[in-house]
């Protein structure tokens, strides 16, 4: 069986400042967003609605705030509310670890709503532009999880060729699923390919956003069967983890958004929404 390589969390030092792998993954995520976002807004139907590269730069700024604040507050209130209510001074101590994707998503939605209001775009149109650019960032984050040897998987059959021992688990060498890699492949690469191909043609407003919610929800729900639940939470009703329960609204909401988008498009003339 394989053993986690035990990477040093610090990639290198810049003068006396340690540069962590996870920080580099965030930097890669933001860089990929800019590159992909510029390609998305250059598509004829988006350019015709007034989208520019400046909008992508501004979206990144809004999105970073949403990811960091929402991700941290989501972890605080979704996973450890009792602890942080009794230790309020640690709520913003992001350097201690603890971020939630679902909280980050809510933070980004608030940030996108603010961007849409200030720039005169429809909120759902903004979501359609952003959605295809998100999975590569998720992939980078999961790669960072693997490098750090955190968020490891559940116990696996020792005969599984890619079963891996995570010494950080202090479990006596139990072979586990490398669930970070599963999530890297599922909610990262696979979801990116599906969304990128889907968004290469004009789609009804909210269809791309709906597909993102649906696709991520399904990928995350499935991966959670192989990911070790948080020790302080365990499994909830139906044997589902907290991550699975938080993914259910995404699956339902994404499916309903796509249904609404195509039904709405069938009732409207085939013309792009204008600013």
Per-residue model confidence as pLDDT tens digits over 215-256: 999 999 999 999 999 877 788 899 999 899 999 999 999 999
| 175-176 and 164-165 strand pairing | antiparallel
> What is the rounded CA–CA span in Å between residue 141 and residue 21?
10
Structure-block tokens of residue 69: 């604040």
Nearest Cα to 129, choosing from 27, 197, 206?
206
What is the gyration radius of the CA atoms in the chain, in angstroms?
20
Structure-block tokens of residue 144: 């960072």
Residue 270 confidence (pLDDT): 55
> Which residues in the chain show pLDDT less than 70?
93-97, 269-275
> What is the rounded CA–CA span in Å between residue 196 and residue 155?
34
Residue 274 confidence (pLDDT): 43
Half-sphere exposure of 106 (CA within 13 A, CB side): 16
> What is the rounded CA–CA span in Å between residue 64 and residue 104?
9
What pTM, to 2 d.p., does this model score?
0.88
Q: Could you count the other beta carbons within 10 Å of the beta carbon of residue 269?
A: 5
Instruction: Write out the binding residues.
Output: 142
- Tracing tokens 């699975």 back to the chain, one arrives at 244
Residue 135 confidence (pLDDT): 96
Residue 272's alpha-carbon distances to 41, 45, 59, 129, in angstroms, are: 14, 7, 21, 14
Beta-ladder partners of 18: 13
- Tracing tokens 């602890």 back to the chain, one arrives at 83
Residue 84's alpha-carbon distances to 65, 89, 231, in angstroms, are: 21, 8, 17
SS (H, E, C) 107-141: HHHHHHHHHHHHHCCCHHHHHHHHHHHCHHHHHHH
Residue 133's alpha-carbon distances to 83, 157, 220, in angstroms, are: 34, 36, 18
């Amino acid at each position: 069986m394989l053993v986690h390589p035990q990477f040093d969390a610090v990639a290198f030092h810049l003068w006396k400042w340690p540069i962590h792998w996870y920080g580099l993954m965030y930097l890669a995520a933001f860089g990929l967003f800019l590159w992909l976002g510029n390609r998305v807004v250059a598509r004829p139907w988006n350019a015709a609605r007034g989208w520019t590269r400046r909008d992508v730069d501004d979206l990144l700024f809004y999105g970073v705030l949403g990811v960091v604040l929402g991700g941290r507050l989501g972890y605080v209130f979704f996973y450890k509310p009792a602890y942080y209510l009794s230790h309020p001074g640690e709520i913003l101590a992001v350097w201690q670890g603890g971020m939630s994707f679902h909280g980050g998503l809510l933070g980004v939605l608030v940030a996108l709503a603010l961007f849409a209001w200030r720039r005169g775009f429809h909120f759902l149109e903004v979501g359609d532009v952003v959605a295809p650019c998100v999975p590569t960032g998720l992939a980078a984050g999961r790669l960072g999880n693997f490098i750090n040897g955190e968020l490891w998987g559940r116990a696996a059959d020792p005969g599984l060729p890619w079963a891996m021992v995570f010494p950080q688990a202090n479990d006596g060498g139990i072979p586990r699923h490398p669930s970070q890699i599963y999530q890297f492949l599922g909610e990262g690469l696979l979801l990116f390919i599906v969304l990128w191909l889907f968004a290469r043609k004009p789609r009804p407003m909210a269809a791309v956003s709906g597909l993102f919610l649906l696709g991520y929800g399904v990928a995350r729900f499935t991966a959670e069967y192989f990911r070790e639940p948080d020790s302080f939470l365990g499994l909830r009703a139906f044997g589902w983890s907290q991550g699975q329960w938080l993914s259910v609204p995404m699956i339902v909401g994404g499916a309903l958004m796509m249904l609404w988008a195509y039904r709405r498009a069938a009732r409207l003339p085939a013309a792009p929404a204008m600013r």
